[in-house]
Amino acid sequence: MSGWRECGPIFSPRDFVEYMLRRVGLGREELDLGEVAVITPISAMARRICEHFGARRAERWLYRQGPALYNFEVEGVTVSALPIPPGAPSLAYFEELIALGVKHAVFTGSAGGLGADVRVGDYVVPCGAVCEDGLSQHYVPLGVPVEADGELVEAMRRACEDAGARAHVGRVWSIAAPYRELRWKAEEYHRRWGCLAVEMEVGAFYALAAYWSVRAVALLAISDLVYPRHSFDFHTEEYARSVERVPEVLERYLARALRSTSSAS
């Protein structure tokens, strides 16, 4: 035996997807899957997105048990929303979407704020991530920040601006251990690497997008403050309002991005 199979993965996302398709008795082209995917681990965001867009649950989907898929349309394009469990390993579902043909994805989530200018209820649009999540290091070099698609980051920033939302563009610190957000790291990553938030999934999201050559952007609502002042703010009106406004920002972003894609093609 020779070639890439000697050092490559034992099985790939495509292999698993084909296995699941056989189990549900569907062909890939029969799935109710849109051209664009919206992924979120925040149940309140998933609920608001589905309500705002009048999303319908997909009947023909990869999983009979497991994460449900919901579809809606923007600018005549079908968009699929996939709620996932929290944490970087759940981004394996993103890889499955990529294996099924998704080429453009948006992640929405929450994060702790880093820096005196970041307030609860603000948004951070990550332009990259310092990855300590455990999944990313299997796809991108360890210790090297993964960067986002600058064009999509700007489109998301403008969507926030158009919605009248306060937003910041900067890197984020992606971590797998929420009770090990060390003060010296928060200070170092904020000052040296320009991290404006700490969370658990964006590093993996951007790493997978880079590895598989998929366009991707994230939007994070600031739920609490981590550095330089720490405070638990998860149940404040400011954070709740930012969650409520995610669909409005998302709609503005999708309309802008999809119009741009249509005019370029």
Please, which pLDDT band fits residue 4 given cuts at 50, 70 and 90? very low
pTM for the complete prediction? 0.94
Where do the domains of the chain lie, and which CATH numbers do they carry?
4-264 (3.40.50.1580)
Q: What angle do CA 110, 123, 181 make, to 5 degrees?
A: 45
Q: Could you tell me the maximum CA-CA distance found in the chain, to the nearest angstrom?
A: 60
SS3 content of the chain, % helix, strand, coil (to 5): 40, 25, 30
For residue 263, the model assigns a pLDDT of 57
Amino acid making up residue 10: I
How large a percentage of the chain has pLDDT more than 70? 96
Interatomic CA distance for residues 226 and 117, integer angstroms: 12
Q: What percent of the chain has pLDDT over 90?
A: 91
* Mean per-residue pLDDT over the chain, rounded: 95
Structure confidence by residue, pLDDT tens digits, 205-238:
999 999 999 999 999 999 999 999 999 999 999 9
CA–CA separation, 203 and 131 (whole Å):
5
Of the candidate ranges 112-116, 143-147, 216-220, 260-264, the one whose mean pLDDT is the lowest: 260-264
139-179 pLDDT, tens per residue? 998 888 999 999 999 999 999 999 999 999 999 999 999 99
Given pLDDT bands bounded at 50, 70 and 90, which one contains residue 264? Answer: low
Cβ burial 155-173 (10 Å sphere, 16+ → b, else e): bbbebbeebebebbbbbbb
* 2: confidence class by pLDDT, cuts 50, 70, 90: very low
Q: Which of 109, 98, 123, 122 is nearest to 174 (CA)?
A: 109
Could you write out the three-class secondary structure of the chain? CCCHHHCCCCCCHHHHHHHHHHHHCCCHHHCCCCCEEEEECCHHHHHHHHHHHCCEECCCCCCCCCCCCEEEEECCEEEEEEECCCCHHHHHHHHHHHHCCCCEEEEEEEEEEECCCCCCCCEEEEEEEEEECCCHHHCCCCCCCEECCHHHHHHHHHHHHHCCCCEEEEEEEEECCHHHCCHHHHHHHHHHHCEEEEECCHHHHHHHHHHHCCEEEEEEEEEEEEECCCECCCCCHHHHHHHHHHHHHHHHHHHHHHHHHHHHC
The predicted-structure confidence for 168-209, as pLDDT tens digits, reads as follows 999 999 999 999 999 999 999 999 999 999 999 999 999 999
Beta bridge partners of 16: none
Question: What local confidence, expressed as pLDDT, does residue 146 receive?
Answer: 97
Query: How many of the other CB atoms lie within 10 Å of CB of 67?
Result: 16
Report residue 4 as tokens: 């890439």
Residue 37, pLDDT above cutoff 50: yes
Query: Taking residues 6-13, what's their average pLDDT?
Result: 87
Report the pLDDT value the prediction gives residue 29, as an integer from 0 to 100. Answer: 95
Q: pLDDT grade, residue 262 (50/70/90)? A: low
Q: pLDDT confidence of 7, banded at 50, 70, 90?
A: confident
Question: Which residue bears the tokens 């090990």?
Answer: 180
- pLDDT score of 104 more than 60: yes
Distance of CA 87 to the CA centre of its chain: 11
